[in-house]
Structure 1
Amino acid sequence: MSDHRVAAVPVPVPVAVHEPPYYAVVFTSLRTEGDGGYGETAERMGELVREIPGFLGEDSAREPGGLGITVAYFRDLAGIEAWRTHTEHRAAKAYGREHWYERYSLHIAKVERSHGFERTHG
Structure 2
Amino acid sequence: MSDHSGVPAAPVPAFEPPYYVAVFSTVRTPEQGGYSETNARMEELVKDVPGFLGMDHAQTPGGLGITVGYFRDADALAEWRSDAEHRAAQKCGRAEWYQSYTLHVAKVERSHGFTRATAG
Please report the TM-score for the alignment, with normalisation by the length of structure 2. Answer: 0.91
5 Å matches for 1:1-122?
Answer: 9-122=6-119
Deviation at 1:98, TM superposition (A): 0.2
Please report the TM-score for the alignment, with normalisation by the length of structure 1. Answer: 0.90
Structure 2, gaps ≥5 residues long:
none
Tell which structure's C-alpha radius of gyration is larger: 1
Give the aligned CA root-mean-square deviation in angstroms: 1.1
Q: Secondary structure at the match of 1:73?
A: strand
User: Any runs of at least 4 consecutive aligned residues in structure 1 with deviations exceeding 3 A, and if so which?
Assistant: none
**Cα deviation digits, residues 9-32 of structure 1 (max 9, x gap):** 122210011100001100001100
Alignment partner, residue 5 of structure 1: none
Percent identity of equivalent pairs: 56
Deviation at 1:96, TM superposition (A): 0.7
Q: What is the rounded CA distance, in whole Å, between the counterparts of 1:37 and 1:12 in structure 2?
A: 25
Q: Secondary structure at the match of 2:36?
A: helix
